[in-house]
Amino acid sequence: METANHVTDCLIIGAGPAGLQAAYFLDRKGISFRILERGAVGQFFRRFPRHRMLISINKVHTGLSNPDTKLRFDWNSLLNDEGQMFTDVSRRYFPDADDYVGYLDAFAERFADRISCGVEVTRIGKEGELFTVETGDGATHHARTVIVATGVSRPWHADIEGIGLAEQYHDFDPTPERFRDKRVAILGKGNSAFETAESLIEEAQAIHVVSPNPVKFAWNTHFVGNLRAVNNNFLDTYQLKSQNAVVDGAVTRIEKEGDGLTLHVAMSAAEGHEIVLHYDHVIACTGFRFDDSILDPAIRPEMRHMGKFPAMTAEWESEAAPGLFFAGTIMQCRDFKKTMSGFVHGFRHNVKCLAEFVAGRVTGQPYPHGTAPLDRPALGGLLIDRISTASGMFLQPSFLGDVIVLDGPEAGAHYTDVPMHWADEAPEFRGRTVLRVTLEFGNFGPDPMHVKRAHTTDGDAADPFIHPVLRLVRDGEVLAQAHLSDHLDSDWRAPGAKDAGAGTVQRMTYVDAGRTLSGNEVAERQIADFFDRAGLFAATPVAVPAQ
């Protein structure tokens, strides 16, 4: 039982995936914590998505044995060393949200004695060096640090006159029969909008999906928050003229007219052109925002990205209050719509780093690291293994990566899957020459289904598909860099190092080599060339077998 004067190292607000992931890693570091949750564990997934199908993939059959590599295709499991994976709970590629709630409940059992459910946080303040967290039951908790992992719990409303007349995604009745033979407008063009439209195709008379901006497709942008193919069947019914439509226009006014609603829409593609449309139902699927009302005004940060997310540092720490951290989907403030911090498969890796930042704040210990060999063959082998197996840098392309210190007393220090924004500022790397390793996408051009790609080994051009990038950096200045060739399997290891039966690509033709090479041979050649150009280590020719 905590006493009134008890001080916890860290209070975690929210028992969703981010809060549980933070607790897991803090527990491993010996940092005392308590989770305060307004509802039940995994409360968000008990209600959302409204139509209950997750679009975070759950790929069970990968041909892989490395647990970290398997996470590249498992977007739901929380990171853990006990093998507690969601792929053992559901075998569906797009799983049911109720199954995920069960997984989170089971994951939380390991520290159930430190989770308080049904406890609503009403205020987070700071007095001196300690945070005070007040709850609806009249209790006050004290902590050295706080992690807010409450997600985006408040609906974000577009600035539309009469928006209050619309039904809202977060609480409307989604029963399809309600909309039988009705005209329906859906505001928004994200996955929640198209998920809703998809569910009504068989019942509604006409469905219009409306917003000022054109649809963005995840396969185009490589941002999974854009429209996913699993939700875009509706587009067939638009392009094949089946009474449904996608409208590019800004709704300026919603009016009640008889039993229905009239929308005034300023068309985006025709300046000065307004269209007036009448519907039986209007459903707003315009997204959510972080609820900052629990933060005392003295420690409340500015809000960014149309007021949706709190401003935070490269360590996901509030710009307004040192020691106040953010976890989960609100972490995307740092990489908004660029990588995957808004989703479990991205932020679980962020949270692992965050736990180290919090532990360091509590204990004063530096960020932990391993050791990399600083000789050409061994380091080259390490790089190939990391780019082929690591899940963090694969799922957070260009955002998370490895940093290897090459000089000074910490030479050989190897930091894995850390934020590149943090690496830009961290004192650990000040005045040091470091090697950064990331996986990144290039430019796909106008048609992502027909992409021209490099077929040489020079390592200068950025391939469109995900590929390794090596950078030699000192105090923020890039001294040398190389884009390695992409690989269809994203596995640059030698055949003998791979799982038997995994992968498809054996060899490819490279024009400048004059023959076919394996992906491993090309990667070794490109890494050796980078070492030469960067002036790293003594040159050792990489043998390429004759054909």
Question: Looking at the predicted structure, is the pLDDT value of residue 540 above 50?
Answer: no
Question: What integer is the mean pLDDT of 436-457?
Answer: 80
> Predicted confidence band at 4 (pLDDT cuts at 50, 70, 90)?
low
- Render pLDDT for 388-424 as a digit per residue (tens, 0 to 9): 999 999 999 999 999 999 999 999 999 999 999 999 9
Mean pLDDT of the chain: 92
In this prediction, residue 3 carries a pLDDT of: 52
Q: Kindly indicate the confidence band of residue 176, based on its pLDDT and cuts at 50, 70 and 90.
A: very high
Check residue 541 and give its pLDDT.
Answer: 42
Question: d(Cα 307, Cα 305) in Å, to the nearest integer?
Answer: 5
Beta-carbon contacts of 155 under 8 Å, excluding residues fewer than 6 positions away, are: 168, 169, 170, 284, 286, 287, 288, 289
Looking at 29-33, 41-45, 511-515, which range is the least confident one?
511-515
pLDDT > 70 fraction of the chain, expressed in percent and rounded: 96
Neighbours of 52 (CB within 10 A): 16
547, pLDDT greater than 60: no
> What is the helix (H) or strand (E) element at residue 360, kind and residue range?
helix 344-363
Tokens of 339: 């990588």
Res 514: pLDDT: 74
Structural domains of the chain sorted by starting position, each given as residue range(s) with its CATH number in brackets: 7-154+289-363 (3.50.50.60), 163-286 (3.50.50.60), 370-534 (no CATH)
Where would I find the H helices in 364-434?
376-389, 392-395, 420-425
pLDDT at 2: 54
- The confidence band for 1, taking pLDDT boundaries of 50, 70 and 90, is very low
Burial state string for 296-310 with b = 16 or more CB within 10 A and e = fewer than 16: beebbbeebeeebbb
Strand partners, 116: 36
Q: What is the mean pLDDT of residues 111-115?
A: 97
pLDDT score recorded for residue 509: 76
Contact residues for 338 (Cβ-Cβ < 8 A; gap 6+): 223, 398, 399
3-state class (DSSP) for residue 255: strand
Q: Read off the pLDDT band of 542 (50, 70, 90).
A: very low
Q: Which of 201-210, 249-258, 461-470 has the lowest mean pLDDT?
A: 461-470
Q: Is 449 exposed, middle or buried (0-12, 13-18, 19+ CB in 10 A)?
A: exposed
Q: What is the 3-state secondary structure (H, E, C) of 487-543?
A: CCCCCCCCHHHCCCCCCCCCCEEECCCCEEECHHHHHHHHHHHHHHHHCCCCCCCCC
Q: Which residues pair with 117 in a beta bridge?
A: 37
Residue 55 CB contacts under 8 Å (≥ 6 apart), including other chains = 49, 94, 191, 224, 228, 230, 231
Cis peptide before 448 (omega within 30 of 0): no
Mean per-residue pLDDT, 511-529: 87
**In the predicted model, what is the mean pLDDT of residues 275-300?**
94
Residue 459 has a pLDDT of: 63
Cα dihedral across residues 327, 333, 339, 340: positive or negative: positive
d(CA 170, CA 177): 19
Per residue in 364-374, pLDDT (tens digit) is 999 999 999 99
**pLDDT-based confidence at 504, cuts 50/70/90?**
confident
Residue type, 458: D
Q: What is the pLDDT of residue 538?
A: 64
* pTM (two decimals): 0.92
Name the band, by pLDDT with cuts 50, 70 and 90, for residue 313: very high
111: exposed, middle or buried (Cβ count in 10 Å: 0-12, 13-18, 19+): middle
Percentage, residues of the chain above pLDDT 90: 77
